[in-house]
Amino acid sequence: MEFTVQQIAHILKGEVKGDNTRKINNLAKIQEAKEGDICFLSNLKYENYLYTTEASAVIINKDFEPKKEYQSTLILVDDAYTAFSVLLEEYAKIINFSKIGIEQPSYIAPTATYGEGAYIGAFAYIGNYVKIGNNVKIYPHVYIGDKVSIGDNTILYAGVKIYADCKIGNQCTIHAGAVIGSDGFGFAPQSDGTYKAIPQVGTVIIEDNVDIGANTTIDRATMGATLIEQGVKLDNLIQVAHNVRIGKNTVIASQVGISGSTTIGENCIIAGQVGIVGHIRIANRTTIGAQSGVSNSIDKEGMTVLGAPAIDHREQLKNYVIARKLPEFKKRIEELEKKIVTLQESK
Amino acid sequence: MEFTVQQIAHILKGEVKGDNTRKINNLAKIQEAKEGDICFLSNLKYENYLYTTEASAVIINKDFEPKKEYQSTLILVDDAYTAFSVLLEEYAKIINFSKIGIEQPSYIAPTATYGEGAYIGAFAYIGNYVKIGNNVKIYPHVYIGDKVSIGDNTILYAGVKIYADCKIGNQCTIHAGAVIGSDGFGFAPQSDGTYKAIPQVGTVIIEDNVDIGANTTIDRATMGATLIEQGVKLDNLIQVAHNVRIGKNTVIASQVGISGSTTIGENCIIAGQVGIVGHIRIANRTTIGAQSGVSNSIDKEGMTVLGAPAIDHREQLKNYVIARKLPEFKKRIEELEKKIVTLQESK
Amino acid sequence: MEFTVQQIAHILKGEVKGDNTRKINNLAKIQEAKEGDICFLSNLKYENYLYTTEASAVIINKDFEPKKEYQSTLILVDDAYTAFSVLLEEYAKIINFSKIGIEQPSYIAPTATYGEGAYIGAFAYIGNYVKIGNNVKIYPHVYIGDKVSIGDNTILYAGVKIYADCKIGNQCTIHAGAVIGSDGFGFAPQSDGTYKAIPQVGTVIIEDNVDIGANTTIDRATMGATLIEQGVKLDNLIQVAHNVRIGKNTVIASQVGISGSTTIGENCIIAGQVGIVGHIRIANRTTIGAQSGVSNSIDKEGMTVLGAPAIDHREQLKNYVIARKLPEFKKRIEELEKKIVTLQESK
């Protein structure tokens, strides 16, 4: 991607001061920017970088008055911070939606359909009766099983695997290597010590505006559907077991594991490496601290819990403080025991 | 997949009461079933759902007498619960084994062989001298390295990667994105602070009836073989390091990590997110609670351990109870100290 | 791969005693070796295996004098242990670098370039303006996004995914399913409870001699670069978040998670399942015990920390000892309380 300073100024409705033909191909922080980069100066704490940066262009508030020489072209705007955010989003849109067309070889079953603006990368596999909306971007090595449906504007990065019958909503982003719809982990013990797989004939439903991280796994339900509601954000390497339900706008960090049939409320925040047992309910707006182990339902909304087993975080923090001083307490108990003996003897 | 009620009744040797031409394309719970679904009623606690469900068919005990009107077609059988289980398994078999034939483009080395009933999806890669048994299902994007052997009736879902020389048994199911045979993590520290890779020239052997979850990784041995014995069930995102051995019929939940050269016994149950150090032995029939850290061998069979470091779960549960009340104990110690001082002074 | 004993003796500059035409196709430990295997005997503790092994060849010190009959061909060398190490490395090199040429179908953008000695497996995808060095091995199903650069002698195993604009150094090994350059996990909360993705327009830089395990994920920076310095060794299923920096020669075991913008020093050792919060610094030569949770910066070099929250491991081990005996301390406090009461009453 390459733009001139003039083209960018046009997007930002800014005024150019300096050479408007300079070429921009990257966004950067002012303290790291090099030739070809564009950056912004808003917080005057960083003003000195303006006089030393090699950035080709700097977005800057129009009321700013430079005190020394500088070599960048300036783009003057009302609010440099906001303008840069706009630019970031435009840039991301261009990156994400510039791919278009069908690369070869790809495999698209004759019964599959897709809308306008599609990108289907080489080696993508689209099974029977798959339905794909408009402006969907399917990167190379994506596998879409039979009868899957995918909404509009969704992006499936390289190597995403979606098993048969699952549903993916609109404006979803699923990162490389994520697996949607693998069999739930259910086995019935037999009398001879072996296990027999319990058929997993349900599906996975991913609603709109859901983001799913790289190599995350979401299992299909035994019956019914594992459900990820709208606006949920999942980081990398998360495990979501069969029949789990995650409420809307819940955010879950990397390496969290959620066991079967658990229901997570809306607008929860779950930090990294948390484990949650099966068949429980977590209330709306619960916050769970990193590495916690949640073994019971949380009924009250808005709590923050921590530890394993997880309890109210303020209680837990007090425990942590003492848990670090256990040898001291041991000593104090021993001291007490001696003194008691002395007192008893002296009686 | 679509069947008539009559076809299903025939499989279940049941008697149809109502319209036997209705179409069934899904299995569901009676409390969630919609048109096109088949469900069952066995526990009379759920009887009321019979009178409200939109299910196209309900499997029901033949001695059951409805008390109100209902709109589903009934299939009368001796035991509704068992009949539904049979149906689930038949359905799963149809799903799993309906794929057949070689899709194009796929890559099959001229020296590779495969048996009858094979499905080889588009973009599957089968290396030199690979040997594949009968009725093996190889989904798209599967990679099978040189000289791998795969038994009969095994299913490799989309994107499974098997490195050269590994052996996979009969009736195994390996889910999408699982990696079998990557290099063990072994590096020799050098005097300049760098590390040199220790060549990993062993393999992985997966015996019969093993299930492996999505994105799970099993490393090849340094020499010899990492061994997963028959009937082992592994969930998603598990790490099995080089030279590990897992005994038959052991079940391991998601995100567990097992370090190098550790031997796990038979019929163990290991809950989610457990970590096990290297070079230890876990006895048969050990149960390990979620998130535990096992740092020493467990010699006695049939134990249940918990915590990090893991100890007998009854002991650990007592510790957990007290660990949650540490501030109270701190207070009681302070109280005692004051009283002692008072007693000493009053002497 | 098959060699004669004579060919191997030639590589090791050893002298053959016995049939030098026997065929070798595997390396093994003497206690496990079978026909076709080569093994070594150095530690005389294992001498008895020499008289029972079916190994086709045994590498042995030239001053060794057998006391019984044996059936293997011997290769006499100065130091059997060293000779076997040399053989292991040669063998690994042959395995790793024997693949050569471009398999079809693969997808190589016309603007992509690659050097001599390349292997590009079937179904590999190489995007626009990608630059690949000499002797690079790209296994099937690898995805390389636009403008990625890859140094010399690097190996990308099956199904590795590298997003656009990332840089991979020389002599790197990346195992199957690893994902490099997925979006960092950054979302801005909106007033209606939803989240808006913060564009992640940075990249990932992997320096020389880095090893990355199977299904590990490394996110691209928000701006700038997530940086993995030279000589870093990462195991399987690790999460490296956006803008993390890992110092050279640091070794990280499986399932570790490192949150955003954290800097790890050089020559650190991080054991399995550790979690590290964002925006902190870990000093050089820090060792972190398994399953630890690191929530604060570690400023002093060379420390060993343990636990969650992680503290000096010697302190923590003392805490662990007492934490396992909390019921005993509870009892002792109760005992003290009773005695105090008795003393107070007897006054």
A204-263 pLDDT per residue, tens: 999 999 999 999 999 999 999 999 999 999 999 999 999 999 999 999 999 999 999 999
Minimal C-alpha gap between A190 and chain C (Å): 32
C302 touches chain A (CB under 8 A): no
Phi-psi region of A224 (alpha: psi -120 to 50; beta: other; left: phi over 0): left
Show the tokens assigned to A206.
């991913």
Buried/exposed code over C186-206 (b: 16+ C-beta within 10 A; e: otherwise): beeeeeeebbebbbbbbbbbb
Minimal C-alpha gap between C242 and chain B (Å): 21
Candidates C273, C306, C343: best to mutate against B (most CBs of B within 10 A) is C273
Contacts of C336 in chain A (CB under 8 A): 333, 336-337, 340
Structural contact between residues C306 and C316, judged by C-beta atoms closer than 8 angstroms: yes
Check residue C1 and give its pLDDT: 66
Check residue B274 and give its pLDDT: 98
The angle, 0 to 180 degrees and rounded to 10, between the axes of the packed helices B313-323 and C326-346 is: 50
B126 touches chain C (CB under 8 A): no
Local confidence band at C341 (pLDDT 50, 70, 90 cut-offs): confident
Contacts of C291 in chain B (CB under 8 A): 275, 293, 308
pLDDT of A347 above 70 = no
Show the tokens assigned to B225.
């073989």
Note the helical H segments in chain C: 5-12, 47-50, 80-97, 313-323, 326-346
pLDDT of C323 above 90 = no
CATH architecture classification, B101-316? 3 Solenoid (2.160)
Structural contact between residues B229 and B211, judged by C-beta atoms closer than 8 angstroms: no
Q: Which CATH number does the domain A3-96 belong to among 2.60.40.4070, 3.30.70.20, 3.40.1390.10, 2.60.120.1440?
A: 3.40.1390.10
pLDDT in tens, chain B (347 residues): 689 999 999 999 999 999 999 999 889 999 999 999 999 999 999 999 999 999 999 999 999 999 999 999 999 999 999 999 899 988 888 877 789 999 999 999 999 999 999 999 999 999 999 999 999 999 999 999 999 999 999 999 999 999 999 999 999 999 999 999 999 999 999 999 999 999 999 999 999 999 999 999 999 999 999 999 999 999 999 999 999 999 999 999 999 999 999 999 999 999 999 999 999 999 999 999 999 999 999 999 999 999 999 999 999 998 888 888 888 888 888 888 888 888 888 76
Q: How far is the C-alpha of C96 from the C-alpha of B245, rounded, in Å?
A: 26
Radius of gyration over every alpha carbon of chain C, rounded to an integer in angstroms? 28
Instruction: State how far the alpha carbon of C67 is from the alpha carbons of C44, C47, C77, C225, in Å.
Output: 12, 9, 18, 63
Average pLDDT over residues C72-94: 91
pLDDT cut 90: percent of chain C above it: 85
Cβ contact C195–A343 (<8 Å): no
SS3 C50: helix
B182 touches chain A (CB under 8 A): no
Structural contact between residues B4 and B22, judged by C-beta atoms closer than 8 angstroms: yes
Which residue in the block uniquely carries the two structure tokens 């921009």? Answer: A24
Show the tokens assigned to B187.
């590096």
The angle, 0 to 180 degrees and rounded to 10, between the axes of the packed helices B326-346 and C326-346 is: 30
Check residue B89 and give its pLDDT: 87
Contacts of A330 in chain C (CB under 8 A): 322, 329
Q: Which of A98, A57, A101 is nearest to A76 (CA)?
A: A57
Q: Which of B184, B148, B150 is nearest to B166 (CA)?
A: B148
Q: How far is the C-alpha of B336 from the C-alpha of C340, rounded, in Å?
A: 8
Show the tokens assigned to C135.
């002797």
Peptide bond into B105 cis (omega under 30): yes
- pLDDT tens profile C238-261: 999 999 999 999 999 999 999 999
pLDDT of C165 above 90 = yes
pTM: 0.94
Local confidence band at A97 (pLDDT 50, 70, 90 cut-offs): confident
B141 touches chain A (CB under 8 A): yes
pLDDT of A1 above 70 = no
Cβ contact C182–A211 (<8 Å): no
Would you name the residues of C annotated as active-site residues?
A: 242
Spans of all domains in chain B: 3-96, 101-316, 322-346
C252 touches chain A (CB under 8 A): no
Cβ contact A235–C237 (<8 Å): no
**For C123, nearest residue in chain A (alpha carbons):** A123
Phi-psi region of C119 (alpha: psi -120 to 50; beta: other; left: phi over 0): beta
Taking only residues 46 to 85 of chain B, the set having a beta carbon closer than 8 angstroms to any beta carbon of chain A reads: none
Structural contact between residues B251 and B229, judged by C-beta atoms closer than 8 angstroms: no
Q: What is the mean pLDDT of chain A?
A: 95
Cβ contact C197–A28 (<8 Å): no
**For B328, nearest residue in chain A (alpha carbons):** A319
Check residue B326 and give its pLDDT: 82
Contacts of A253 in chain C (CB under 8 A): 185, 259
Average pLDDT over residues A288-296: 98
Average pLDDT over residues A39-56: 94
Peptide bond into A105 cis (omega under 30): yes
User: Which residue in A10, A141, A175, A242 is the catalytic one?
Assistant: A242
